[in-house]
Structure 1
Amino acid sequence: MASLPSISDVPSLSTTQRAGILDALFEPCTALHTLSLDPLRTEKFPSYNDLIASVGAQLTELSESPSISDTRWLDKILGAHPRLGEKKVDSAQSQAEQAQLNTGGNEEAEKLQKLNEEYERTFPGLKYVVFVNGRSRPVIMHNMQQRIDRGNIRLERAEGIQAMCDIAADRAIKLHQA
């Protein structure tokens, strides 16, 4: 998606077009489509930030639910983000956001790969999600290690939701300017 349509047009768009908005702001994810496509058709949002906040509220509701199926659904959505430093990344937005993390030496790249693996062992079904926002690979890796050491899945899901919304808000600005 080269640019976002006017927020006022969102409810009248086709299902495919609304899914494209979710894919551009978040990541391509069937579970997110199932959760959020209908509100994009039935609600009017004053801004893309309001749309993102609505999706964030849906994700938070899943995280606070006692239902195991809700937790699994949320984990599918959080797990749709690519690994940090991954060479093959499907979404153009993630490719651009991660470009700075794919520079530097092989030693750092290997350490990042090992951290991703450790993170995914610590939090099965999740991928580390963070709003990179210009931070260096060492700073990001330090944050990842702290989150692994903390070992709190509930806090991890909450941080993942917040990061997804921060990333989406940044993408909305960039895609609106496109």
Structure 2
Amino acid sequence: MSTLPMLAEIQACHSDPDSPLAHALSLLFEPSPILLTTLEPQLNKVIASSAPLTSYDQLIDLALTEIAKWDVPARSEFISGHPRIGESKALSALSAKEQGVQGVKPTPPEVLARLNHLNACYETCYPGLRYITFVNGRSRAVIAEEMEDVLGFNHSLSPDEPAIVTLTQLEIGTASWLSELNRAVQDVGRIAKSRLEALGIDSRLQ
């Protein structure tokens, strides 16, 4: 598993897709094009004009402040850099650990099938969004129930109910849609802060 660079390296680096800052952001938030093309250069300017960083928590908060300034499509693209709940292919080591892929007890196939359907349902109801949640050690079965609650579904292990064609699609930019987008961005921040411990890094390491 990769390690975070020292804060002093981040403070001194120039903006570049391969910079120490870009590396840190890719570990904390999952690699994505908008992270490298937009967040990294914006955050680099903020860091260069600010007092020295004192913690990785501060770095994450600065990143979230910049992301909050983005327009809706950019924030939507940012959260799409995170894998869907239940995915097991092409996961980073940290995502795999967070989702329990590396756990001793495998997730039952019926739960994985349910999650796959719930992801499709969510993305139908909230076009342009992806369901993001701070797993925080919870099982995939518990997360499936959380998704059902968000969608207003009964708890079930059905792999195809309710039928996607029966769902109502929210308009992008409505209050409910924006609420989910903002919640997802905040949960990405919570995930990033939890990764500091997973990486064995003191949040105040310099």
Fold shared per TM-score above 0.5: yes
Determine if the alignment matches structure 1 residue 60 to structure 2 residue 64.
no
Instruction: Note the aligned Cα RMSD (angstroms).
Output: 2.3
Larger displacement relative to structure 2 (120-129 or 143-152): 143-152
Larger displacement relative to structure 2 (4-13 or 97-106): 97-106
2:107 alignment partner, SS class: coil
Q: Work out whether residues 27 and 80 of structure 1, in 8 Å CA contact, stay in contact via their aligned partners in 2.
A: yes
What's 2:181 paired with? 157
In 2 relative to 1, CA 177–11 (structure 1 residues): closer, same or farther, beyond 3 Å?
Answer: closer
Which segments of 5 or more consecutive residues in structure 2 lack a partner in the other structure?
154-169, 171-175
Distance in 2 between residues matched to 1:71 and 1:131, nearest whole Å: 21
Distance in 1 between residues matched to 2:40 and 2:89, nearest whole Å: 27
Distance in 2 between residues matched to 1:131 and 1:116, nearest whole Å: 16
Distance in 1 between residues matched to 2:140 and 2:194, nearest whole Å: 19
After superposition, where does 1:1-178 map in structure 2 within 5 Å? 2-13=2-13, 15=16, 16=18, 17-42=20-45, 43=47, 44-62=52-70, 70-100=71-101, 103-149=106-152, 152-177=176-201
Which segments of 5 or more consecutive residues in structure 1 lack a partner in the other structure?
63-69
- Cα deviation for residue 40 of structure 1 reads 4.0
Distance in 2 between residues matched to 1:157 and 1:166, nearest whole Å: 14
Size of the alignment, in residue pairs? Answer: 171
Distance in 2 between residues matched to 1:61 and 1:41, nearest whole Å: 15
- Compare the two structures and name the one with the higher helix fraction: 1
- Structure (1 or 2) with the larger CA radius of gyration: 2
Percent of aligned pairs sharing the same letter: 32
Moved over 6 A (4+): none
Give the TM-score, by structure 1 length: 0.85
- Cα deviation for residue 52 of structure 1 reads 0.5
- Cα deviation for residue 176 of structure 1 reads 4.3
Larger displacement relative to structure 2 (113-122 or 150-159): 150-159
